[in-house]
Amino acid sequence: MADIQLLGLFNEAASTAEVIERLRRAGLGDEQVSVISSVPYRSSMLRRPDITSRIAAVAGIGALVGVLIGLAITFGTYLLNPLPVGGQPQFPIPPTLIVVFEVMMLGMMWSAFGAFMFINRMPVFGHPPFSEEVVDGSIGVLVQAEEGRSAGIEGLLREAGASAVKRFDSSARANTRTWVQVMGGAGAAVTLALVLVLLLAYEVIKIPFPTNMADTVSVAHLQGPRLAAPVEAVPVQGPVFIAGQPAVAQVVSSPSSIQRGQVLFGINCLMCHGEKGQGNGRLATYFNPKPADLTGEKVRAFADSDIYLVISLGRGQMPSLAENLSPDSRWDVINYVRSLQR
């Protein structure tokens, strides 16, 4: 273990490279000589051995882990919550690639950052040898040597052109023990916080949080009991369907009604059901199952009132057209559909 640390300050890279070579010939190993500079010199410029860093390898591993996590997020989400969309595969490629790429980059950046902090033992604790002249552009050559050789090494540094030589005792070094303690404490705190969040999320630890919603009687969709409307109440949503029957009288089929229905059909129905009502409209390829064939046997068997309810309330992937068509207009469309079935 070195007893004395000598810091020689040089003004140019050439003299720095020369003194490093002379220190090597004097019997000092590369591990005993360090270069401190505010300028990123290449190792070959200072006649130093190339530095082999594991940061690139760690970043590659982080990128691979990010790819695996991204695939788990995308494929796992679709498998747990399948959402069929007409004309698209179960696992769409474009959004999957975007998610995988983003998570891969996050894994690579965070792993590279963590490796840099770990390899360089940052943040630095203690008082390692340093000089303010390095910030102003000087190059510092830090030599660790035994007390008996300090005078000869100091003379060698001055002969090589050092503008100043500063001496530091063995206490002037980074406190690695404190760094290990701080990093270990931070890791333990993060782990404890994660475990606590999981315990609360999975209700292993139950804490009653005050909230008004906890005391509210929740009623799901179409779930009773319900409060009945007052007897004197008047519906404001439009026609009310009673016992599966329309609330308005059917418009009698006539040439004028069929003509109006043809116009309304072309506006509201043609894009899905097709010009002849055979379920082959331009948008039909985007639906699964396909739109109904209005000329087929299944729709032929429907009563007019059944078709009226489908137009008014919707069915399956077909939305309600109650806002688009008035009650009489719906009957006109039904009369036109019946004309297509002849």
pLDDT digit string (tens) for 47-79? Answer: 888 777 788 899 999 999 999 999 998 888 888
- Select the highest-mean-pLDDT range: 55-59, 211-215, 243-247: 55-59
Sheet with 164-169: list strands edge to edge: 33-36, 139-145, 4-10, 164-169
Judged against a pLDDT cut of 90, whether residue 206 lies above it is answered with: no
Compute CA distances 261 → 142, 215, 332, whole Å. Answer: 93, 52, 4
- Tens digit of pLDDT for each residue in 317-330? 899 998 899 989 99
Cβ atoms within 10 A of the Cβ of 335, count? 23
pLDDT mean over 205-221: 68
Which pLDDT belongs to residue 172?
Answer: 66
Judged against a pLDDT cut of 80, whether residue 158 lies above it is answered with: yes
Averaged pLDDT score across all residues of the chain: 84
Cβ atoms within 10 A of the Cβ of 157, count? 22
Which token pair is 123?
Answer: 């943040």
- Tens digit of pLDDT for each residue in 114-153? 998 888 778 877 778 888 888 888 888 888 888 778 888 8
- Tens digit of pLDDT for each residue in 73-98? 888 888 887 777 766 777 788 888 99
- How much of the chain, in percent, has pLDDT values that exceed 70? 88
